[in-house]
Amino acid sequence: MAILTKPDETTVKVEPKNGTNFELEELYGYLECNMIEISRCSITGQIIVSDEEAGCRGDLVNHPTFGVAIQVRRGEYLPFLNRHATTLLHPSLVPFGYNNIFGNALICEDRQIN
């Protein structure tokens, strides 16, 4: 069982379509991206799969309610910094430091990634 965590702090339990491991196209769909980054969770040792280029987007802003947010339409913003995944990556960083995770992130076991 893997957990898909989102910037709005919701989580969803997900399973690989083939029952054993996630395929690349499947990861792209969950993360809504086309280039993934794989990191190791410093707390549990699990794998954190995230969007490699999410922090490079030009539409990120510092929103008074959401913190780091992404502009989805003119005047409409959504949370974009994934605090849950970033905390798993760097539990000692408060406030968050140099290597933040933006957008959706998948937390899973090594064996679930080919």
Total structural domains in the chain?
Answer: 1
pLDDT tens series, the chain, 114 aa: 899 999 999 999 999 999 999 999 999 999 999 999 999 887 888 999 999 988 777 678 888 888 888 888 888 888 888 888 888 887 665 555 567 888 999 999 999 997
pLDDT for the residue numbered 17 = 95
Which pLDDT does position 107 carry in this prediction?
A: 96
**85 neighbors 8 (Cβ within 8 angstroms):** no
Range of the domain at 22: 2-112
Which tokens sit at 21?
């491991």
C-alpha span between 99 and 97 (Å, rounded): 6
* pTM as predicted: 0.85
54 and 80 Cβ atoms separated by less than 8 Å: yes
Q: What per-residue confidence (pLDDT) applies to 89?
A: 83
Give the span between the Cα atoms of 96 and 73, in whole angstroms: 27
